[in-house]
Structure 1
Amino acid sequence: MDKELRQRLDQRLEQLENRVALLERNLDLVAAGQRRTSLRSLWRRPPMWTFEQYPPRLLNFNAFKPAPAIPANAPRIAMVTPSYNHGQYLGATIDSIVSQAYPNLYYHVQDGASIDGTIDLLRSCGDGLSWKSEPDKGQSSAINLGFAGVDCEIMAYLNSDDILLPGTLAYVANYFVSHPDVDIVYGNRIFIDREGLEVGRAVLPRHDGKALQYADYIPQETMFWRKRVWDRIGPIDENFHFALDWDFILRAQAAGFKFVRLPRFLSCFRIHDAQKTAATYAVGAREMGILRQRVLGFEPTHMQIRRAIAPYLVQQVAYHYGYKLGLLRY
């Protein structure tokens, strides 16, 4: 068998694996939807991993707590958006960051040579951000390129289809200034559809380092960290294309850095057909297996994972319904 034919067969096999994995995932979603009110459905599909929880509705930005005052000694925040052919969503992502009017912000879009009108959009943004469009080796590579040589105190990346909620940068900056012992923060998330309409919310309990070894429950789009974390554990591992954020999180946890879940909605996670989370599900399953093997010393079964994270899932369900009933306010 010649090399070219083998490569084509390997590519075809990977496509089939992705389709099978997506089919399994969709069957789980259908099953969970049919038993939405049962305890079994909560076990199979906890609220924090159920994207479409109710019919689409307008997201009322005025309903959130007002942004705190920006501290006088506002720490320098560096944010990077990796982008490739997401021009239809990128404008909202950029606006959600620039409109925060944070005075000490470095914001950069690292585009992978898009061909969908992204370049024209970036040219129209003026001086509100820096950007570069060039071929890269994927999302991990783009993030590392965007952060290369940046001088800052706080770091974060926001994908080109997600958005920050108003006041997030001021809130995060205030928290870091008043809590010098904290290294990494994250918060609650909102799910939006391709039109930007709200379809769900995820309210998280306090950080649980043990559960994190089995499953990545941290919403990447809400996560910020001090540069000392990056300097110590290194940049994003470009060998990962799906679980890159979980790898970074686990390396930070292993290094002893302190995590805190903030009691606030910080960002919105967009659900759409071309989303990487769905399109590379089989790749993600393999990468998550690699990380569990590295951290735990073995690759647990699905039942072992469920049992290990069960206490955290119970708390999450309690927080979810506590928020829905108005007992918790964010």
Structure 2
Amino acid sequence: MDDEFRQRLEQRLEQLENRVALLERNQDLIAAGQRRSSLRSLWRRPPMWTFEQYPPRLLNLSAFPPAPAIPANAPRITMVTPSYNHAQYLDATIESIVSQNYPKLTYHVQDGASIDGTLDLLKSRGEGISWTSEPDKGQSNAINLGFAGADCEIMAYLNSDDMLLPGALAYVADYFMSHPNVDVVYGHRVFVDREGLEVGRAVLPPHDGKALQYADYIPQETMFWRKRVWDRIGPIDESFHYAMDWDFILRAQAAECKFVRLPRFLACFRIHDAQKTASTYALGVREMGILRRRVLGFDPTQMQIRRAIAPYLARQLAYHYAYKLRLLRY
């Protein structure tokens, strides 16, 4: 068996594995939807992991709270967008960041030599952003390349199909300035479809470090951290291609970094057919297993995972309905 044939065979087997994993997940969702008890269905698929919660509607940006004033001594923020063949969504991602008008922002798009018109889009942006388009070794590598030499106090990355909400940078900077002991922050998220229409929202309870050891519930697109975290625990682990953000989060938690869930919607997570979350689901299962074994010291069963995160899911359900009933406002 020659190397080329072996490589094609391995690729085909991986594709089949992904397809089987996705079919198994879909069967679970169908089974959940057929249950008579709506409470049990919600328990199996909590609101924070239910993307399409209502029919698409216009995303009303003006309904979100105004940004706080930005002082002269505001911290420097560096943001990176890893990109590959996402020209369809990338412009909205870029606009959501540059329209923040944050005066001490360094923003860089690290593109992996896209062939779908991304290069023309980046050129059209002029000198408003910095960017590089060159082959890379995947998303994790692109993020690290984008952050190389970063001179800042706060860091974050936003994927090329997600969007920041208005005032997010000013709010995050203000919070970090008034809470010097906090290392990592994140907030609530909005789900949007491929057209940018709102289809759901996830309102999260306060941070729970124990639950985080069993499941990654932190919305990556809303997460910001101090550069001292990066300096302490190191960059994104490039051996991970799906769960790299959870790995980074768990390493930060192990280094006793202080996490806070902010009481604000900070970003939009876009749902579409080609997103990495769905296309590499089987790889994700393997990587999440690696992380659980590393942190917990054993391979938990699905029942053990559900029991461990049950208190957090119960609180999330309470926050979800309190927000829907307008008992909570953000």
TM-score w.r.t. length of structure 1:
0.98
Indicate the residue corresponding to 1:80 in structure 2: 80
Q: Is the 8 A contact 1:71 1:173 kept in 2?
A: no
Residue 254 of structure 1: how far off its partner (Å):
0.1
Q: Is the 8 A contact 1:70 1:170 kept in 2?
A: yes
Residue 35 of structure 1: how far off its partner (Å):
4.3
CA RMSD of aligned residues (A): 1.0
* Distance in 2, Cα, partners of 1:155 & 1:35: 43
Q: Is the 8 A contact 1:80 1:158 kept in 2?
A: yes
Indicate the residue corresponding to 2:169 in structure 1: 169
The answer on 1:28 being equivalent to 2:28 is: yes
Indicate the residue corresponding to 1:266 in structure 2: 266
| Stretches of structure 2 lacking an aligned partner (at least 5 in a row) | none
Secondary structure, aligned partner of 2:260: strand
Indicate the residue corresponding to 2:324 in structure 1: 324
* Distance in 2, Cα, partners of 1:37 & 1:71: 52
The answer on 1:17 being equivalent to 2:17 is: yes
Residue 4 of structure 1: how far off its partner (Å):
3.0
Residue 181 of structure 1: how far off its partner (Å):
0.2
Secondary structure, aligned partner of 1:109: strand
Indicate the residue corresponding to 1:68 in structure 2: 68
Per mean C-alpha deviation after superposition, the further-off stretch among 17-26 and 205-214 is: 17-26
Letter in 1 for 2:111: D
* Distance in 2, Cα, partners of 1:34 & 1:324: 24
Query: Percent identity at matched positions?
Result: 85
Indicate the residue corresponding to 1:225 in structure 2: 225
Indicate the residue corresponding to 2:315 in structure 1: 315
Number of matched pairs: 330
1:240-259 counterparts in 2 under 5 A? 240-259=240-259
* Distance in 2, Cα, partners of 1:4 & 1:25: 32
* Distance in 2, Cα, partners of 1:131 & 1:82: 10
Per mean C-alpha deviation after superposition, the further-off stretch among 25-34 and 286-295 is: 25-34
Indicate the residue corresponding to 1:110 in structure 2: 110
* Distance in 1, Cα, partners of 2:20 & 2:50: 20
Per mean C-alpha deviation after superposition, the further-off stretch among 285-294 and 33-42 is: 33-42
* Distance in 1, Cα, partners of 2:247 & 2:77: 22
Indicate the residue corresponding to 1:186 in structure 2: 186
Per mean C-alpha deviation after superposition, the further-off stretch among 295-304 and 21-30 is: 21-30
- 1:92–1:134 Cα change, 3 Å: same
* Distance in 2, Cα, partners of 1:68 & 1:62: 15
Residue 93 of structure 1: how far off its partner (Å):
0.1
* Distance in 2, Cα, partners of 1:329 & 1:37: 29
Q: Is the 8 A contact 1:36 1:42 kept in 2?
A: no
1:287-298 counterparts in 2 under 5 A? 287-298=287-298
Per mean C-alpha deviation after superposition, the further-off stretch among 7-16 and 164-173 is: 7-16
* Distance in 2, Cα, partners of 1:28 & 1:257: 35
* Distance in 2, Cα, partners of 1:118 & 1:180: 39
Secondary structure, aligned partner of 2:115: coil
Letter in 1 for 2:143: I
